[in-house]
Amino acid sequence: MTETLDLFTRTEHAELLKQLATWDIAYHQNDAPIVDDATYDAAKKRALELEEKFPELAKNGASMRVGAAVSTKFKSYPHAIPMLSIADVFNESEVADWFSKLSNHDLFIELKIDGVSFSARYENGILTRGLTRGSGVAGEDITQNLCTIPDIPTRLHGDFPNVLEVRGEVYMLRDEFIALNERSSKKFANPRNAAAGSLRQLDPGITAKRKLSAFGYTYGVVSARTWQTQSEYLEKLESWGFKTTLRWARHANSVADIQNVYNDIMAHRAEIPFDIDGLVIKVNDVATQKHMGARANSPRWEVAYKFPAARGITLLRDITIQVGRTGVLTPVAELEPINIGGVLVSRATLHNADEIARLNIKIGDKIIVQRAGDVIPQIVGVAETGSGPEYKFPEFCPVCGAAVVRESGAVARRCVNTLGCPAQRIGELEHFVSKHAFDIDGLGPRQLELFTERGWIKTPADIFNLIRLHVDAIKNLDGFGDRSVFNLNKSIEGARKIELHRFLYAIGIPDIGVVTAKLLAKKFGNLDRVRHATYGELKNIDGIGDVMANEIQSFFADAHNQQILDDLLQYITVLDAKVQENETGPLVGKKIVLTGTLTNYTRDEMREILEGLGAHVQSSVSPKTDIVLVGADAGSKLQKAQDLNIPIWTEADIQKYIK
């Protein structure tokens, strides 16, 4: 039985919207919140509940407003027609090769916007759903975010099809990008990153503040096509209320025509107020497009003629070293700041010692810097050699002084002091107390930073003395009291006994994740056997290769780590594991790799399910992989599986085994 919408409910809903609008202005526009998050969330939740119960309230309601619908994650929906990529060409010869395969030489050339793809579905002229490109097969629901972009109409004008899916590109004008970086504590590298980060916000209010722009350029599902060419479609788009790149578009009938357009746009590229990274050349006639069809991931009737990466020459002031959470030393080029393609570049990664040697660069050289794909700053080579000495990569960690090693077969250099290096400390401690490790509630990043800054936690062993030694001082810190200290102590005490595989994961052996930790526990059964395992014993475990075997052995051989582990074992008990030689289950022995975002399970939940079915879950695809289980936004692992002809499963394929 449908409930009747009464005056009381209408009034309550209107008051909620009024409150939310006031709070949104204070928070998003004035940067001065007037209520706490809990109060705001409760009001928002109530408004959404009313709109779900009485759909007529949803029109211009909280669910459609700019204000910020709070959600835990994006929903995912399949594209009715896949959103394919476009094949790239990089020079006139490649253009000519593509052109030679065409039967229709009436071409239409558009700008290739350096932005983020979207699709917007309209039913009877009303925007009903917006999606990201996602995996090409399915995209993330960004409907509310698209509603905040002025260039994307929520209602079409004129003579439009009953069902129409407009596809296009969201981007950010360079001036808006510069202004955003000036006013924001978070600095974006370029307009495309800013647009992508802004479009995929869980809070549409943030998207609205970022002042995004959009162009329409193609279509997906359409109930009735009334245009015969691509150029005519862009004209239709503009009549319906969309902006397009029609003013920059050109026609061409030959390779020479294409190259003339390319040279002209390149010459005036800086005058265009947004970033472009090439041209898109299309067969203009839609019937011919349909006849030519598509490859697995790109249409045959169009190509992207890419511009060369933007380059510049500047002085290499210094080479500094960053030490990451896993102890890897990354050299960074400190540059005389230079503007490349509208972005001020002052630093660029040098990746590793081998890259420095390959480039043969020294401090004081004038170097060539490019933004690869107009995005990532990288050093291409030396333009003018300076008088500086040859760079020597550090043999000792610049943070803790421990030895720097390079394992056989590896490129990166790494500080061996995994558990004691201050540069690795916060990250390692966060890892140590995380869910799949010791799972200690109340020790998040903020608390760990507070305690390490005061010298109360230097190594993992200090966690188990924290309350005993510093209880009164902790209670005097902001945000702490008797109850929170009691709960923290309870969580710490509850972690004094830990399963072997969780312990092996917690101590942060490089490259050893949950899966490998379980393999070690099943094989050896207790910590002492793992600590004294030989290289041969480790390498013979299915799933552990040369590099991992070296990492494990080096970790336990290091004197710093031995001392820290011995200290830690005074306060905890590592439980022995059952040595498992013969596994059972319908997927026993199957090597499975997970990639992408699953719909019904988290990656961890699916990993547990697969292992319960007897499978071995691996982190990377190899010729020995039996199955790749794919979710939304699958990337390089899916491509590698396709290249190796490895069976690809979805959640639907695994359901029969789960049941």
Catalytic residues: 112
- 590-655-580 Cα angle (round to 5): 35
**Three-state DSSP class for residue 141:** strand
* CA atoms of 127 and 445, how far apart (whole Å): 41
Determine phi and psi for 127, rounding to 5 degrees.
-65, 120
DSSP code of residue 187: P
* CA atoms of 246 and 411, how far apart (whole Å): 48
Report the amino acid identity of residue 363: I
CB-count exposure of residue 425 (10 Å: 0-12, 13-18, 19+): buried
Please, are residues 587 and 615 in contact by the beta-carbon 8 Å criterion?
A: yes
Please, are residues 615 and 588 in contact by the beta-carbon 8 Å criterion?
A: yes
Question: Which residues, 6+ apart, have CB-to-CB distance to 602 below 8 Å?
Answer: none
* CA atoms of 123 and 163, how far apart (whole Å): 5
Report the amino acid identity of residue 410: A
Report the amino acid identity of residue 488: L
Determine phi and psi for 599, rounding to 5 degrees.
-90, -45
Tell me the DSSP string of 426-450. Answer: HHHHHHHTSTTTT--TT--HHHHHH
DSSP code of residue 27: I
User: What stretches of 255-306 show up as alpha helix (H) in DSSP?
Assistant: 255-267, 286-292
* CA atoms of 349 and 188, how far apart (whole Å): 16
Please, are residues 583 and 610 in contact by the beta-carbon 8 Å criterion?
A: no
Please, are residues 122 and 160 in contact by the beta-carbon 8 Å criterion?
A: yes
* CA atoms of 129 and 133, how far apart (whole Å): 13
- 541-635-509 Cα angle (round to 5): 35
